[in-house]
Amino acid sequence: MNEMQHEMSVLDFLEQNSLTCRGLTPVQLERLRNQPVRGVTADSRKVEPGHVFLALRGTSTDGHDFLTLAREMGAALALVDHLVEGVDLPQLVVDEPRDLWAPLLSSFFGHPEHGLSFVGITGTNGKTTTTTLLFSVFERLGFTPGLIGTIAYRYRDRVEPSNFTSPDPEILYPLLARMKSAGVDTVLMEVSSHALAQKRVQGIRFSAAVLTNLTQDHLDFHGTMKEYAAAKSLLFSEHLTPGAKIVAWTGNPHLREIIHPKFPVLGYDADPGPGTDVYVTNLVHSIDGLRFLAHTPGGSVAVSSPLIGSHNVQNLLAALAVVYALDLPLPAAAEALAGVTVPGRLARVFLPETRAPQTGEGGGPRRVSAGDVPVFVDYAHTPDALDRAQSALRPLTRGRLITIFGCGGDRDRTKRPLMGRSVEQFSDLAVVTSDNPRTEAPGAIIDMILSGMGPERIPAGDLATAARGILVEPDRAAAIAAAIAAAGPGDTVLIAGKGHEDYQIIGTIKHHFDDHEHAVAALKRRSPPVPSSKE
- State the DSSP code for 40: E
pLDDT value of position 351: 85
Q: For residue 195, give the nearest of 220, 169, 213 by alpha carbon.
A: 169
CATH second-level architecture of 347-526?
Answer: Alpha-Beta Complex (3.90)
Confidence of residue 363 (pLDDT cuts 50, 70, 90): very low
pLDDT at 2 over 50: no
Where do the domains of the chain lie?
10-108, 117-337, 347-526
If one compares 353 and 175, the residue with the highest pLDDT of the two is 175
Q: Hey, CA dihedral for 268, 273, 274, 278, is it positive or negative? A: positive
Contact 332, 303 (CB under 8 A): no
How far is Cα 406 from Cα 415, in angstroms, rounded to an integer? Answer: 11
> Distance between terminal CA atoms of the chain?
60
pLDDT tens for residues 179-225? 999 999 999 999 999 899 989 999 999 999 999 988 867 666 667 88
Mean pLDDT of the chain: 92
Contact 280, 295 (CB under 8 A): yes
pLDDT value of position 361: 39
Q: Which helix (H) or strand (E) holds 235?
A: helix 225-238
How far is Cα 240 from Cα 523, in angstroms, rounded to an integer? Answer: 48
Q: Which long-range contacts (CB under 8 A, 24 or more apart) does 177-180 make?
A: 177/3, 177/4, 177/109, 177/110, 177/112, 178/3, 179/112, 179/116, 179/146, 179/155, 180/112, 180/115, 180/116
Q: Give the CA count within 13 Å in the CB-facing half-sphere of 447.
A: 5
For 348, 362, 363, 367, the CA distances from 359, given in Å and listed in that order, are 18, 8, 5, 9
How far is Cα 166 from Cα 60, in angstroms, rounded to an integer? Answer: 20
How many other β-carbons are positioned within 10 Å of the β-carbon of residue 176? Answer: 29
- State the DSSP code for 181: H
How far is Cα 137 from Cα 328, in angstroms, rounded to an integer? Answer: 10
Confidence of residue 327 (pLDDT cuts 50, 70, 90): very high
Mean pLDDT of 446-467: 97
pLDDT at 157 over 90: yes
395, burial (CB in 10 Å: exposed 0-12, middle 13-18, buried 19+): exposed
Cβ neighbours of residue 16 closer than 8 Å, sequence gap 6 or more = 8, 107
Confidence of residue 43 (pLDDT cuts 50, 70, 90): very high
Q: What is the DSSP string of 106-144?
A: HHHTT-TTTT-EEEEEESSSSHHHHHHHHHHHHHHTT--
The backbone torsions φ and ψ at residue 186, rounded to the nearest 5 degrees and listed phi first, read: -135, 130
Q: SS3 letters for 406-417?
A: CCCCCCCCCHHH
Mean pLDDT of 380-394: 95
E strands in 58-212? 77-80, 91-93, 117-122, 145-148, 152-155, 158-161, 186-190, 206-211
Q: For residue 208, give the nearest of 295, 327, 315 by alpha carbon.
A: 327
How many other β-carbons are positioned within 10 Å of the β-carbon of residue 461? Answer: 11
pLDDT value of position 371: 53
Cβ neighbours of residue 95 closer than 8 Å, sequence gap 6 or more = 81
The backbone torsions φ and ψ at residue 487, rounded to the nearest 5 degrees and listed phi first, read: -70, 140
Put the strands of the sheet holding 77-80 in their side by side order. 39-41, 51-54, 77-80, 91-93
pLDDT value of position 221: 65
Question: What's the topology of domain 10-108?
Answer: 3.40.1390
CATH class for domain 117-337? alpha beta
pLDDT at 298 over 50: yes
pLDDT tens for residues 397-435? 999 999 999 999 999 999 999 999 999 999 999 999 999
Q: Give the CA count within 13 Å in the CB-facing half-sphere of 99.
A: 8
